[in-house]
Structure 1
């Protein structure tokens, strides 16, 4: 058994080395004279650059914040392993994004023709491989006032946190090396197609279905939520279901970091220092505040005590729900987003039928359901011409609902296939002995003390 494990790690190291060496000798194509795909650097707006640099840092901070948020909720024997699974995404997904992920997300569309127009399902993997043509020149169609490399790095932070969200559902029983393989497959085969279809100018969901997703309710939270519940079904329950959060102050710290970083997540998605960024900043804060209060009051109405854990979960649910609509709705509407999403997610967290599946940290009930509620509410209330039910009619709303079903099915069933493929190469679950010992010691030979 030890020999098999060693071979897996040798393979992982060899792949990392191959990527690093390929990058060293890659014939990078510099854009000395911008072609039709790129603008001159004269188009750069310094204020936009400053804000997107800041926003990128804020979104990066969300992944360590998520690590504290999850780490405080699990049992004492699994704190380090849970936190590390978030942190490791900073390394794995960053390299994956540079080599091929960005190309698959924002490369020239590969897809289908509908009524004489080409709509992308995924990007050409060779367009921006190893950040080819990704330098200081702004792209002519995407983020036209900032260097293309800054746009790529901003988007990379979204790609990093998405698989990290999934970890909370599988905590305390998934093998570390199999998790690494799964997040690579998930990022390449689920995240990048969704990212392309929603956010590329010619993507199928954004361009044909007119799906509104300002900052990732569909691309990030729905995909992670459905992949999380798929993993729970494939891997199965923990052997010991006793749920005692180890460190509530960690959860509070993580929530604070997430809330702070979310301003970059949502307001940064304006891709400019403008009025839309300011409005997204406001709606983000207010929706989270509304959801936090709604969650604790709803708990009390149902006979449960007001808890710090509940307040933190409520705040995050509000952030999730407002994400797809942050730049499309007014502040008063954002209060309603937080209110209704907190009630629905709270009901799902405490729904006995869902409890049977052992989603360790209720990732689906919070991120998945929060993302669904955000998408539905966006489809009803988003402002602007032909943007929603109230501003465009039933046709726009029905397109959103069709897209919701497609995204849910693609993320859920696609993830099940990827978990099973992963399990063919490396068993997903740790042994029962390792689970009882705790993943901190059995997987990493470390302990919190």
Structure 2
């Protein structure tokens, strides 16, 4: 009997570890996002997981893996809701991408957005938008995957969802955060379980689970055929190298430039730098070697560190640093891929052509995501469905006092803490010291 008669074990590992990483995202969100009711984060994650799975396996998969293609833009099938065994592994791969992308998107809006708005945003992302991008990039008949430029055959290189998952979700979330705008909370109203004492360790565990989920998503599918055969170990080695490079370089930058390392937020930034390194090699994890993985991850970590400081001093609330670790790292990785990679059709005399095509596809994905997200969040805002009740109150507070506040970093501005007070963090046993500031 064929050893694959019962299916590919990598499919089980992928979806199982990606679901585990969703728990990691929940721990990260609880440990980094201040919220007045921490159970709102738990509920939204459980709700979103169920919504993502149902919406994708009933409708979303057809837009990616439908038997027909509409000009390489959108897939469709003549027999909907009929999943055949020959595409189940692909559907699990697409579902894993949807689960990761929706988690990254929710890091910007969770606890702030209205339940109805959360339903609409997640449903459209999982059922339509990401499946459409996946059809462009992952399907053989997608227009980005199979095209010509200057009479030369070109194709986008995006092995592990660099643009399909990480770039699209983080950019969409950043636009949602921009629409939500500033907020101001009173510390005495903050749930004691939100960024509570025990979350120093739990947030670190959350990031490790996220890393495991990204590694599982990068496993080759059963349609992936290469020589040598041991590409699983090859890919995992590249991911470990990129993560270690990002952590190490971010730690050194924290020590020698920021001169702050032994506090909660600086330690988390080191882990986020490692995640940025992993995201940066996602486009070509399968064809990089260890030195190239380390080099691309080092460049991404540099961009991450300085963009994190920049974003931290803007009005955008991005406590999980996804703009720097995912959006910026995705852009770096997409451009680096045809420059650094030496295999497939990405090297040699046609390198310039493939670099141009990669850049064109990047611009198209960026522009499409910006337009789509801006229209969606504008509609929700006009319909008064964007913010939940607590968020609406916190936003009105922030708008009312904005003209009286000096320029401050994100958490200082969020809680009106003075410049001598460190950011609220796990381990603060007594929060009464902050209350006199309010």
TM-score range, shorter chain: 0.7 to 0.9
Shift of 1:301: 1.8
Q: Work out the CA distance in 2 between the residues paired with 1:319 and 1:179.
A: 28
Equivalent-residue separation in structure 2 for 1:170 and 1:95 (angstroms): 21
Aligned to 2:386: 428
CA apart distance, 1:185:
1.6
Q: Equivalent residue for 1:30?
A: none
- 1:266 matched to 2:225? The reply is no
**How far is the alpha carbon of 1:398 from its aligned partner?**
0.5
For residues 226-276 of structure 1, what are the alpha-carbon distances to aligned partners after superposition, in whole Å with 9 as ceiling and x for unaligned? 101211222222234999954222210111111222221112457569333
CA distance in 1, matches of 2:391, 2:362: 41
Of residues 277, 280, 290, the one that matches 2:235 is 280
Distance 1:245 1:383, change over 3 A: farther
Contact 1:68 / 1:83 at 8 angstroms: preserved in 2?
no
Partner in structure 2 of residue 412 of structure 1 = 370
C-alpha distance in 2, partners of 1:413/1:281? 35
**Correspondence for 1:191:** 130
* 8 Å Cα contact 1:82-1:168 kept in structure 2: no
SS in structure 1 opposite 2:345? coil
Q: Shift of the alpha carbon at 1:321? A: 1.4
Contact 1:70-1:83 within 8 A present in 2 as well:
no
2:117 counterpart residue number = 178
| 1:254 aligned to which of 195, 199, 206 | 206
Q: Distance in 2 between matches of 1:391 and 1:241?
A: 60
Whether contact under 8 Å (1:93, 1:184) holds in the other structure is: yes
Q: Residue 165 of structure 1: which of 97, 104, 115 is its match?
A: 104
**Quick check: 1:72–1:79 contact (8 Å CA) kept in 2?**
no
2:158 matched to 1:213? Answer: yes
Q: Normalization by structure 2: what TM-score?
A: 0.78
* 3-state secondary structure, aligned to 1:123: strand
- Deviation at 1:343? 1.0
Q: Residue 169 of structure 1: CA displacement?
A: 1.6
Unaligned runs of 5+ in 1: 1-41, 113-119, 139-147, 438-449
Any unmatched runs of 5+ in structure 2?
A: 148-153, 396-438
Alpha carbons of structure 1 residues 164 and 353: separation in structure 2 relative to 1, 3 Å: closer
Task: Tell whether the 8 Å contact from 2:114 to 2:386 is kept in structure 1 after alignment.
Answer: yes
Could you say what secondary structure the match of 2:145 adopts?
helix
CA distance in 2, matches of 1:193, 1:335: 32
Cα separation, 1, equivalents of 2:14 and 2:238: 16
What is the alpha-carbon distance in structure 2 between the residues aligned to residue 51 and residue 385 of structure 1? 24
Shift of 1:333: 0.8
**Residues 59, 261 of structure 1: 8 Å contact kept:** yes
- Aligned twin of 1:135: 84
Contact 1:72-1:248 at 8 Å conserved across structures? yes
Structure 1 residue matching 2:113: 3-state secondary structure: coil
> Is 1:202 the equivalent of 2:141?
yes
Q: 1:54 to 1:239 in 2, by over 3 A?
A: same
Give the drift of 1:347.
0.8
In structure 1, the residue corresponding to 2:89 is in which secondary structure?
Answer: helix
Deviates most, 427-436 or 100-109: 427-436
1:100 matched to 2:39? The reply is no
Instruction: State the partner residue of 2:249.
Output: 294
Change (3 A) 1:280 1:192: same
Task: State the secondary structure of the residue aligned to 1:84.
Answer: helix
CA-CA distance at 1:382 after TM superposition: 2.2
CA distance in 2, matches of 1:241, 1:223: 33
1:370-397 deviations in Å (ceiling 9; x for gaps): 1111111112122323225x67321100
* In 2, Cα distance between equivalents of 1:402 and 1:212: 12
Q: Deviations over 1:79-122 (max 9, x none)?
A: 3323433332220011111111000111134443xxxxxxx111
Give distance in 1, aligned partners of 2:84 and 2:368: 33
Contact 2:32–2:319 (CA under 8 A) maintained in structure 1: no
**Shift in Å, 1:197:** 0.3
Q: Distance in 2 between matches of 1:284 and 1:47?
A: 29
| Counterpart residue number, 1:350 | 309
Give the root-mean-square deviation of aligned CA atoms. Answer: 2.7
Q: Secondary structure at the match of 1:350?
A: helix
Q: Provide, for residues 124-180 of structure 1, a one-character-per-residue CA deviation record: whole Å limited to 9, x for no partner.
A: 1x44632x1x233x3xxxxxxxxx223312321211221221111224421223111
- Assess if the C-alpha contact under 8 Å between 1:173 and 1:429 holds in 2: yes
More displaced stretch, 337-346 vs 211-220: 337-346
- 2: CA distance, partners of 1:215 / 1:241: 41
What CA distance in whole angstroms lies between the structure 2 residues aligned with 1:68 and 1:362? 15
Change in 2 beyond 3 A, CA 1:268/1:238: farther
Q: 1:334 to 1:98 in 2, by over 3 A?
A: same
2:299 pairs, out of 340, 365, 371, with 340
